[in-house]
Structure 1
Amino acid sequence: MAKSAPFGEVERALAWRYLRAKRQNGGVSLISIISFFGIMLAVTALIVIMSVMAGFRSTLLNALLGGQGHVFVTVDGYPEDNVLDLTQQVLEVPGIKSASPIIEQQVLATSEYARTGAVVRGVRSEDLDNLPYLKAGRSTADAAGFGEGRNGGDIVLIGAFLASDLGIRPGDQIKLIAPEGVSGPFGVTPRSKSYTVGDVFTTGSVELDKLYVLMPMQQAQLFFNKRGEYQLLDVRLDDPMKADQAKRDITAKIGQNFYLQDWKQQRAGYLNALNVERGMMRMIMLILITITALNIVTGVVMLVKNKTGDIAILRTIGATRGAIMRTFIMIGAILGLTGALIGLILGITIVLNIGAVEALLNFLIPGQGEIFDAETYGLQGLPAELDWGEALFTTLWAMSMSVLVTIWPAWSAARLDPVEALRFE
């Protein structure tokens, strides 16, 4: 047998011949076929799971970042005019979408039916267009009478879930009690006032919709005893993920005398939980792919046992140990590579048609309603966001494991003594 080039035509032909051989002729065993489908399904599952998790992550972060500021500058105690000048300086920083002075304080919100904690956010009418969760911006608030009347009036806007918890709707009364009271002859009396709910809003984040009460700035300054003052600058960025860089740029612009905090610091636990969950799920699925790939070892070992005579003959006619080893590595690699590639195609197809898949599941499970009910989960449909880097990494991992686990049985085949192998043939 003439010496062939590594992974050349002869070795590829042998590997393909053994793959096509029927089981009664010592071909690929059922275990190898199962391993092929296992790798295919594992890669598909990992791509779909990580894409759905990425979709949830993106949806939750977009809802959260749409409902709150991205960077906060503490301006409590500074005169109103100074804060307005500071706002203009911040707006000059590249990457800043908007900057709005606000007052934000915790209160106890009560109605005729319930009471719960809430957060009042005092905002200026001209800044309402900077709040993306108000569908029509300032016009929505103006239609509800927000900001009209003496000292900003008594109309407030509240989150949809807060309204649900209190059992109220637009036109009803809500009583707000501030933690800081008013000193009087009989001690400290809690500061409280009743307001009319002008409208409800939805930020997309259940947590924020259970907390926020929007109040006209003049009324908030009066209610919290902060006349002529603001508390924070609510800064929103073109790219919220660049909050760290934005903090450095803002500090360079306005100086070191102000305390800055970004959304990542405020939501560190929330963000870490998402990252840990994603990392652990990726690790579990990669382990599953590895375990599935290990089954190829059993299949190739059985193939080596079935082809002992063939290996001995190939060795006696001049095939090198390296050629034998590479032949069986290609067998395992073809199983793994083909399974991974088909799994990649299936995974991408499912993710790109996730709406149709959800509709099919709803059809196949009758009597249960929607398996992903929008009212229950607060999301419109099952979110899925394809990460091409994640999909490629998954496929390469499956391919690598398929090749690595085949090395040992291929090495064992190459070490067979042709004399011993032919003795019992």
Structure 2
Amino acid sequence: MFKPLPFYIGLRYTRAKRRSHFISFISLTSMLGVSLGVAALITVLSVMNGFEKELRTRILGMVSHVIVTGPDGTLGNWQALKAQLEKDSRLVGIAPFVEGQGMLTHRSQVRGTLVRGILPQQEDQVADIRSKMVVGSLDVLHPGSFQIVLGMDLARALGVFVGDKITLVTPHATTTPAGVIPRLKRLTVAGVFQVGMYEYDSALAVMNLEDAALLFRIPGKISGLRLKLDNLFKAPYVARELRETLPGSYRTADWTYQHANFFRALKTEKTVMFVILFLIVAVAAFNIVSTLVMVVTDKQADIAILRTLGATPASIMGIFMVQGTAIGFIGTLLGMIGGIALAFNVETVVPQIEALFGVQFLPADVYYISDLPSELSWHDVITVCSTAFLLCVLVTLYPAWRAARTQPAEALRYE
């Protein structure tokens, strides 16, 4: 089988010989370094993707994909708008809501809260509060019952349980002959939910839509409609299109806008982690430079003989580029296989390590996410492997260029 001369000789140089064990050892460590770097990058990025997916799922369990509201923050005759939106095939769920700020008091405890009025059956179409209930049920939130469901941390801070009475203070004051007094309402705790996000567990309270509308003085109206899409990543486009096409004046907002800073921070953290871990690959790749420099020094006589036999400087350069590229390719391939295998089995391997050493990396009483989720992205795999391999190829240029400049007469003078 025909093999180009640089390719054939370069592959032969990658095999160990008796007098070059040290060089072979350096080559092996360089290959293992590239493998470990690539595997670590793929695994860490997969774990970060898993955390991002878990956080996004928990956040979007409480926040709708798109919100439609009026210019003054309320919607009247919302049933007609809801019927019109239901014709859009991209929407898989629509639910009305009333939202406002307030304070909850119980005995000496006072906590600020975001009160959300919902229709339990319709809310199931856009959120999964029902599945997050720890005690109680959303079905008891009937009109006129003035019952309320609290987040776990909020209930704990107020020191209340199901059946306890709490007082809601709304910002809509009432003017009386005695002066301006705050608007108060006695409510009954009907349940407790736990989403796993401190932002919601410590500050969100849910009650019936009509009761909330009365308390916030918008009877017959709502704050807006919450929409759930078949593809959450189309939310910015759908929000903009609805704002432009719906008859009348409406305001829209999507989940990427509401939590832009949070997801931007996650993306920045992932980028920084990629750069930091890629330094492992860079160190291993630069070990290839030292390997090839030693090989070039060791093969001075061979290079000189090849030059006298008619080999061109480009051919000599190609020999050592093939050797360095082979080290990089094998290291990247092994790292890719190891990284993919580890990324798919993180949730199995980590508990075994915890059991073996008697430690717990993410205690459930400290962290909301006590497991290491993993979400392998083939885009990340391709990016990591192609970047690592390209770096390994680039670092071969200098040693190969030095080999091409070898003068046969100087190299054979003392042979």
Question: Could you state the TM-score of these two structures normalised by the residue count of structure 1?
Answer: 0.90
Aligned counterparts of 1:254 and 1:215: Cα–Cα separation in 2: 29
| Conserved 8 A contact 2:321-2:397 | yes
Shift of 1:200: 1.2
Separation in 2 of the partners of 1:26 and 1:309? 18
Check if 1:42 corresponds to 2:37: yes
Question: Is the 1:75–1:83 Cα contact (8 Å) retained in structure 2?
Answer: no
2:141 counterpart of 1:140: no
Deviation at 1:136, TM superposition (A): 9.2
How far, CA to CA, are the matches of 2:288 and 2:51 in structure 1? 35
CA distance in 1, matches of 2:230, 2:165: 37
Matching residue's letter, 2:81: L
Give the distance between the partners of 1:255 and 1:413, measured in 2 at CA: 73
What is the CA distance between 1:74 and its match in structure 2? 1.7
Deviation at 1:23, TM superposition (A): 6.1
**Which among 387, 397, 400 is matched to residue 387 of structure 2?**
397
Match of 1:317 in 2: 309
Q: How does 1:24-43 map to 2 (within 5 A)?
A: 24-25=19-20, 28-43=23-38
What SS class does the counterpart of residue 233 from structure 1 fall into? strand
Aligned partner of 1:296 among 280, 288, 291:
288
CA deviation digits over 1:74-114, x for unaligned, max 9? 23769976211111112222311222221100111222363
Could you tell me which residue of structure 2 aligns to residue 117 of structure 1? 112
Q: CA deviation at 1:124?
A: 2.2
| 1:163 alignment partner in structure 2 | 155
Match of 2:261 among 251, 261, 269: 269
Q: Which residue of 2 aligns with 1:61?
A: 56
Aligned residues of 1:300 and 1:409 also touching (Cα < 8 A): yes
Q: Corresponding residue for 2:367?
A: 377
> SS of the counterpart of 2:218?
coil
Match of 1:417 in 2: 407
Instruction: Tell me the amino acid that sits aligned with residue 415 of structure 1.
Output: R
1:368-388, CA deviations, whole angstroms, 9 ceiling, x for partnerless residues? 3x3223343222521110001
Distance across 2 between alignment mates of 1:396 and 1:115: 56
Aligned to 1:347: 339
Give the 3 Å change call, closer, same or farther, for CA 251–283 of structure 1 in structure 2: same
Larger mean Cα displacement after TM superposition, 412-421 or 79-88: 79-88
Rounded to whole Å, the distance in 2 between the matches of 1:371 and 1:363 is 11
Supply the distance in 2 between the matched residues of 1:21 and 1:271 (Cα, whole angstroms). 50
Contact 1:75 1:233 in 2 (8 A): no
Conserved? CA contact 1:26–1:303, under 8 Å: no
* Alignment correspondent of 1:408: 398
Secondary structure of the 2:253 match is strand
Q: The residue matched to 1:152 in structure 2 has which SS?
A: coil
Letter in 1 for 2:36: L
TM-score (norm 2): 0.92
The residue number in structure 1 matching 2:186 is 194
Give the secondary-structure state (helix, strand or coil) at the position aligned to 2:137: helix
| 1:403 CA drift (Å) | 0.8
Residue 386 of structure 1 corresponds to which residue in structure 2?
A: 376
**Structure 1 vs Structure 2 CA RMSD:** 2.3
Matched, 1:88 2:83: yes
2: CA distance between counterparts of 1:263 and 1:68? 7
Give yes or no for contact 1:29–1:302 (8 Å, CA) kept in 2: no
Deviations 1:263-294 (Å, cap 9, x if unpaired)?
22211211211121122222223344223211
For residues 240 and 191 of structure 1, what CA distance do their matches in structure 2 show?
38
Q: Secondary structure at the match of 2:130?
A: coil
Query: In percent, how many aligned pairs have the same letter?
Result: 34
Per-residue deviation, 1:334: 0.9
Figure out how many residues of one structure are paired with residues of the other and give that number: 412
1:212 matches 2:204: yes
The 1-side partners of 2:102 and 2:18 are apart by 75
Distance 1:360 1:301, change over 3 A: same
In terms of mean alpha carbon deviation, does 64-73 or 197-206 score higher? 197-206
Moved more, 52-61 or 92-101: 92-101
Contact 1:203 1:209 (8 Å CA) reproduced: yes
Q: Do residues 245 (structure 1) and 237 (structure 2) align?
A: yes
CA displacement 1:47-89 (0-9 Å, x = unmatched): 0111011111111111101111121122376997621111111
CA contact (8 A) 2:74 2:224 kept: no
Q: CA distance change for structure 1 residues 26 and 136 in 2, over 3 Å: closer, same or farther?
A: closer
Is residue 234 of structure 1 aligned with residue 229 of structure 2?
no
| Higher mean displacement: 310-319 or 40-49 | 310-319
